[in-house]
Structures are given as C-alpha cells and as structure tokens.
C-alpha cells in the first residue's frame, strides 16, 4: 500500500505489513507536518481499524494494515487536523464529536474545569453557562463533573450548536444541557453559578499553524488586532449574569493575563490566574 501524493521522502506503507510496523512508518511520514507524529499515527490507524487507540495498542498491533489508512495519512499530510479526520476528540473525561466548522477542544482548556473545581470545592454549581460553547466542550465537561447540575450553551454558529446537541445526546446529558444561538450574554436574563467561556483571543495578524489557520473557523479564533475585542464585550456583562457566590472562568492567550485582568478589575472583579500544564497563563477566574 502506498500513499499517493505523499511528501517527498515519505515511506510507503507496503501491503502485508502489520499495524506495529505501520505505526513507525506513518509516524515518520507525518514528522514534517505534526508536532506529535506518533500520537497522530496511533489515532489514524485506530480510526481506520474502527477501534479505540487503547484497544489497538493492547490487542491489534499484530493485525494487517487496515484499508483506507493511506487516504487518512494523505489528509493529515495536507495539514487537516486529526480530530476532523477521525471525527472525535477527547476532552476532560468525555469524548466529543467534532468536524469542520467547530473549534477543536484543546487540553489547555481543561485548566478552566480545574479552576472551577478548586473554586467550588464540595459545592455543586447548580446552573452553568458556557458562552461560545462550540461542540459543547466546557459545558458538557462541567456537567460530567457535576451530575446534579444543569447548563446552557450559547454560540453564534448553528454548525457548532448542532454538534453540541448531538454530543449532549450521545453523553446522556440532553435533559440537563440546553443550547441556543446567541451573541455572548445578550438576551439572557437568568443568573448562573458558574460561567465558562473560551472566546476568540488571537490577533488578526498573528501567525498560526496551517492546520489551524486553514481548517478551523476564523470566527472562533480571531478577536481584533490585539485579540481582546470579545473580552471587552463579555466581561462587563458578567456581573448581571452571575448568581451570588458564583464565578466566571475565562480562557486567555498565554500573553494576555495582564491585559484581560485589567479589563476584569475595571469591571469590579477579583481575579485569580491559573496556569496550564505547560506552566503558561491560561485561565482567569473572576469572582
């Protein structure tokens, strides 16, 4: 089996090879386009086999190379994100369906859930709001953490909301998670114990990897020349949406802690910074 149109020097996937051998070849092939070629190879081959990555590693390494792998690798060589190719992405304790038109969940965003857990301790935030919910990422992760909570996800994208509703149903959370089209908090008059938001925060002229720039929706990435446009709209509106004793947790770009904190303090909030696993500023808790 060969990969048509593969990058120069890419190793062919010869017929009759095992999954174990193909893993090494696919990883080498993807090195020019990926920061995690081995992980990409595992995810793509598991998807071609129709099993989880864990099941493949534990039980299927001796299987023959699955049909269709070459086409998947070629899509990745064109910088298409692995999550779009496989149609799913793990986040916190849940798996989410994703595809073109929605922002792909990142591990760094789990920092927001960690911050909320630390803030609430043994308490349950009974009502949760996720502004810019995308495929339901933060809301559904929070509802998985607090089984007695209810939540609302708001997004401006009908495509994203369709994914969010399907994810809620697949996770058995449809009765606890509502979704509606909206422009941040405009038109909402309820109060929430926990507000989560991962707004666009990339400056319009900032460079991005091809797999992000060419595939993920720009409306979920860019927020004006300095990347702060949406914070300026969201933060001043949070106080009227927060219940007494509640908190809002916002994701930020790692260089934006001071500028976004200033916006929050000017709106009367106390601010706590949380760092991601790479020790970079990633979330602000406003209370």
Domain contains 263: yes
The verdict on 96 and 66 lying in the same domain is no
The verdict on 58 and 145 lying in the same domain is no
The verdict on 158 and 255 lying in the same domain is yes
The verdict on 58 and 185 lying in the same domain is no
Alpha-carbon dihedral of residues 217, 113, 126, 139, nearest 10 degrees?
20
Domain contains 3: no
The predicted pLDDT at position 263 comes to 98
The verdict on 196 and 223 lying in the same domain is yes
Mean pLDDT computed over 65-78: 94
User: Rounded CA gap, 213 and 217, in Å?
Assistant: 8
The verdict on 138 and 223 lying in the same domain is yes
The predicted pLDDT at position 11 comes to 44
Domain ends where: 32, 51, 78? 78
User: Rounded CA gap, 56 and 51, in Å?
Assistant: 6
Mean pLDDT computed over 68-90: 97
Domain contains 9: no
Q: What is the pLDDT of residues 164-177, one digit of tens each?
A: 999 999 999 999 99
The verdict on 74 and 97 lying in the same domain is no
Mean pLDDT computed over 30-46: 97
The verdict on 218 and 282 lying in the same domain is yes
The predicted pLDDT at position 270 comes to 98
Radius of gyration for the alpha carbons in the chain, expressed in angstroms and rounded: 21
Domain contains 43: yes
Token pair of 182 as six digits? 């909206």
Domain contains 104: yes
Domain contains 12: no
The verdict on 159 and 278 lying in the same domain is yes
Domain contains 85: no
Label residue 6 by pLDDT band (50, 70, 90): very low
Residue 55 domain boundaries = 19-78
Query: What spatial distance separates the first Cα and last Cα of the chain, rounded to whole Å?
Result: 57
Q: How many domains does the chain have?
A: 2
The verdict on 61 and 158 lying in the same domain is no
The verdict on 48 and 164 lying in the same domain is no
How many percent of the chain have pLDDT more than 90? 93
The predicted pLDDT at position 13 comes to 64
Domain of residue 52, CATH code: 1.10.8
Phi-psi label, residue 172: left if phi above 0, alpha if psi -120 to 50, beta otherwise: left
Label residue 16 by pLDDT band (50, 70, 90): confident
Domain of residue 174, CATH code: 3.40.50.150
Domain contains 280: yes
Rounded to the nearest integer, the mean pLDDT of the chain is: 94
């Amino acid at each position: 089996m060969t990969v048509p149109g593969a990058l120069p020097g890419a190793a062919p996937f010869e017929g009759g090879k095992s999954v174990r051998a193909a893993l090494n070849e696919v990883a080498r092939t993807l090195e020019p386009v990926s920061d995690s070629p081995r992980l990409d190879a595992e995810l793509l081959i598991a998807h071609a086999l129709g099993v989880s990555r864990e099941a493949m590693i534990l039980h299927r390494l001796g299987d023959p190379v699955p049909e269709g792998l070459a086409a998947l690798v070629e899509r990745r060589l064109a910088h298409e994100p692995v999550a779009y190719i496989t149609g799913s992405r793990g986040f916190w304790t849940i798996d989410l369906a994703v595809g073109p038109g929605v922002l792909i969940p990142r591990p760094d965003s789990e920092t927001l859930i960690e911050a909320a857990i630390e803030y609430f301790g043994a308490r349950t935030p009974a009502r949760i709001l996720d502004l810019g919910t995308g495929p339901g990422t933060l809301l559904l992760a929070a509802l998985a953490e607090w089984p007695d909570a209810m939540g609302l996800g708001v997004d401006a994208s009908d495509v994203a909301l369709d994914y969010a509703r399907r994810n809620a149903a697949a996770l058995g959370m449809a009765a606890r998670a509502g979704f509606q089209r909206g422009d941040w908090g405009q038109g909402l008059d309820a109060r929430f114990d926990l507000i989560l938001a991962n707004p666009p925060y990339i400056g319009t002229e900032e460079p991005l990897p091809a797999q992000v720039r060419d595939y993920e929706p720009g409306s979920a990435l860019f927020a004006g020349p300095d990347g702060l446009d949406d914070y300026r709209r969201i933060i001043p509106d949070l106080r009227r949406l927060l219940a007494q004793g509640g908190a809002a947790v916002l994701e930020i770009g790692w260089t934006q802690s001071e500028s976004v904190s200033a916006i929050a303090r000017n709106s009367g909030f106390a601010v706590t910074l949380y760092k991601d696993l790479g020790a970079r500023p990633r979330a602000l808790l406003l209370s």
